[in-house]
Amino acid sequence: MSRTPAGLVRAEPHSAISIDYDGRKLPALPGQSIAAALWAAGIVSWRTTRRGGRPRGAFCGMGVCFDCLITVNGRPNQRACLVPAHDGDTVTPQEGDGRADLAC
């Protein structure tokens, strides 16, 4: 038996899908969160804070905080740790609160 998480639970993952992150095609597994797909691709920061422009990515990994906010298919403020990746999703980094039309 393989000593990987999938091997330990005898999972048989389906073929990889593809998401578009900021113009790059990235693989993801069906059901995998967008945050996990970005981590697997070596991307650990995909948002900057509104004040100071500090980088942010996944922090809690379970939807409690809001550090992993990202824009998915044109919808800002999506928590990357909770949103499952779907084939063909367009994912873009988010600056601040994702609402460029609002004044600070």
In a domain, 72, yes or no: yes
Give residue 27's domain range.
Answer: 14-94
Q: How confident is the model at residue 96 (pLDDT cuts 50, 70, 90)?
A: low
| 102 contact partners, CB below 8 Å, separation of at least 6 | none
Q: Average pLDDT, whole number, for the chain?
A: 85
Lowest mean pLDDT among 19-28, 42-51, 90-99: 90-99
Contact 58, 39 (CB under 8 A): yes
In this structure, the number of other CB atoms found within 10 A of the CB of residue 93 comes to 16
Which CATH number fits the domain that encloses residue 31? 3.10.20.440
> What is the rounded average pLDDT of the residues 81-102?
81
| Res. 22: pLDDT tops 70 | yes
In this structure, the number of other CB atoms found within 10 A of the CB of residue 32 comes to 18
Contact 80, 35 (CB under 8 A): yes
Total tally of structural domains belonging to the chain: 1
| Res. 103: pLDDT tops 50 | no
| Res. 52: pLDDT tops 70 | yes
Closest CA to 91 of 14, 28, 8, 15: 28
In a domain, 4, yes or no: no
